[in-house]
Amino acid sequence: MRKVFIAANWKMNKTIGEAQSFLSEFVPLVHGVRDVDIVIAPPFTSLHAASSIIKGAANIQLSAQDIFYKDEGAYTGAISPVMLTDAGCTFVIIGHSERRQYFSDTDEVVNKKIKTARRYGLNVIFCIGESLKERETGKTKDVLSSEIDEGLKDIPLEGIVVAYEPIWAIGTGKTATLEQAQDAHRYIREKLASIYGNRAREIRILYGGSVTPDNINSLMNCKDVDGALVGGSSLDVNRFADIVKYRERQKD
């Protein structure tokens, strides 16, 4: 019922040339994959070049890694929604823990960014997740609950994909156990259902945090895991293609 969704978050990696050579190899590698929505999120500088390469590939969409919540104006260094759609984006990642940590994106800012993105028709990958300290002190569900309440305040569910990314699992090689992942995903879906009712059953909830070609299969077997947001393992074209094609590899 929920189509699998796998996104590459390149973070602050790859020049324009590197993005072009990755995508020129990647597009034919995943050509036959029809049962997965594939999204690539390069840095801003590579969006336009990336867009011209993936244009012909019906199964791949382009995402930005962030957005500013103003339409236009004197905001040095910021990128507007129109600039993103103009560059070929249909998605934007909002609320990534690295944005929250290094760029002071609060829940309120995240909420404004999502509203702006949606106003311009951009789909949103909305990231939430707890720190190690929060997990160890039993606060995981409280954190997820308040990030959802604040981040999605007054926002309809259409066009939103949620990414659960336990901060302690990002870039650390530590993946959440299947039980931890399923438990958090189930909780997120219940929380969304308490706000949006039955439509929460249709929303895709991605897992993020040290996803690799080796652990994607078991993660995808969790009932409420509908896809993945992949950082480190998305930088290598063969590794990311292996993640996207996890079902085919399963049959081998």
Point out the residues that are catalytic. 96, 165
* Binding flag, residue 171, ligand PGA (CB under 6 A): yes
Least Cβ distance, residue 10 to ligand PGA (angstroms): 10
Among the listed ranges 28-36, 103-111, 132-140, 208-216, the one in contact with ligand PGA (CB under 6 A) is 208-216
Among the listed ranges 30-38, 113-121, 192-200, 209-217, the one in contact with ligand PGA (CB under 6 A) is 209-217
Q: Which DSSP string corresponds to 103-134?
A: S---HHHHHHHHHHHHHTT-EEEEEE---HHH
Classify burial at 57, counting beta carbons within 10 Å of its beta carbon; exposed 0-12, middle 13-18, buried 19 or more.
middle
Select from 9, 64, 57, 11 the least CA-distant residue to 36. Answer: 57
Q: What is the Cα–Cα distance from 123 to 240, expressed in whole angstroms?
A: 22
Nearer Cβ to ligand PGA, position 80 or 175? Answer: 175
Question: Taking each helix axis from N to C terminus, what angle separates 140-151 and 178-196, rounded to the nearest 10 degrees?
Answer: 40
Of 23, 110, 117, 229, the residue at the interface with ligand PGA (CB under 6 A) is 229
The DSSP letter of residue 158 is: T
Contact set for ligand PGA, span 75-114 (CB under 6 A): none
Select from 19, 2, 130, 1 the least CA-distant residue to 65. Answer: 19
**Residue sitting closest to ligand PGA (CB):** 231
Contact set for ligand PGA, span 126-165 (CB under 6 A): 165
Nearer Cβ to ligand PGA, position 9 or 80? Answer: 9
- Catalog residues that contact ligand PGA under the rule CB under 6 A: 9, 165, 170-171, 208-211, 229-233
